[in-house]
Amino acid sequence: MSKLSTYIALVSVMVIWGMNVVAIKILVNSFAPITITSLRIFTASLAVFLVLLATKGMRKLTKKEVGTIFAASLFNVVGHHFFLAAGLTKTTASNAGIILGLSPLVTALLAIVFLGDRFRLSKFVGIILGFTGVVFIVNHSSAKIGAVSLGDLFIFLSVLTQAMSFIFIKKLAATLDARLLTGWMLLFGSVVLFLTSLFVEPYGIFRLKEGKITTWLIFLASAILATGLGHMIYNRAIHRLGAAESAVFINLSPFFALVASSLFLGETIHFVQWFGFLFIVIGVMLASGAVEGLRMFGKEKMAEERRCH
């Protein structure tokens, strides 16, 4: 898989994840948040394992791998999704968008500390531009930015736990198939989240009967496409590009979330938000090294054409 195809795959995942923000908002408002999140992630794990069975990618894990994957799932699945679901019920989409935009910066800083990544000037400028674009977008959305609330704190904790999980994933992906890693992380995390929901939402199971057919279709799309296949592709990108570089693409997600909100919820996208999107694109191109990748791809194509002639 070339770098260019990895970039295209990541952008596609960001489109899906952006739309998934709307889906999760609908789900957590229709059901008990933690209960439906645990079931969504469990369904996602089944989808990943079906892919593994179809491609003969299953294998037995070592005790060390089980322990490390479980630790990663506590951050990537339990921590991130617990705080995200809880936060979305207590803060505005605008506040959440800004805070989620911190993910690339937090991941890059953790990668420097724990993985020894070099923090190049172009990467730093790209992250700042990307975050500036996120601020433009969410600051001019239909919802107003309010004061820091418990929901804001939950969203930040979801960013922090996800960024910490990327460090585990980078190390695990060196020896473990990203699809296998994703499947087991989702399965372990969904079990822990479900057990947690029994205490914090004792009547959560009984609320499931309140769901409509359309809501359950949204549930399946969110579980299989966004959580299952999306995380599988993203974790593979971490192995290919690194934790910090892959995280830069998360800056695209808030924009696509606004597009989905406009299409499905009737919200208006203002000109300044398109301006913010331009900042995000430039930031992603700089921080990810995509500009260099496109240049190299062009050189390879020219060299191939010369050989053909």
Quote the number of domains for the chain.
1
Phi, psi of 145 (to 5 degrees): -80, 125
Highest mean pLDDT among 34-48, 138-152, 161-175: 34-48
Q: At a CB cut-off of 8 Å and minimum separation 6, what does 67 contact?
A: none
pLDDT at 294 over 60: no
Least confident of 29-38, 43-52, 194-203, 295-304: 295-304
pLDDT in tens, 118-148: 767 777 787 788 778 767 766 655 444 444 4
DSSP 269: P
Structural domain containing residue 242: 3-308
Gap between the Cα atoms of 177 and 181, Å rounded: 6
Least confident of 46-60, 138-152, 172-186, 261-275: 138-152
The model's pTM: 0.74
Joined tokens for residue 130 = 């990307």
Nearest Cα neighbor of 83 from 167, 144, 152, 16 is 152
Joined tokens for residue 33 = 């948040």
Is the separation of the CB atoms in 31 and 201 below 8 Å?
Answer: no
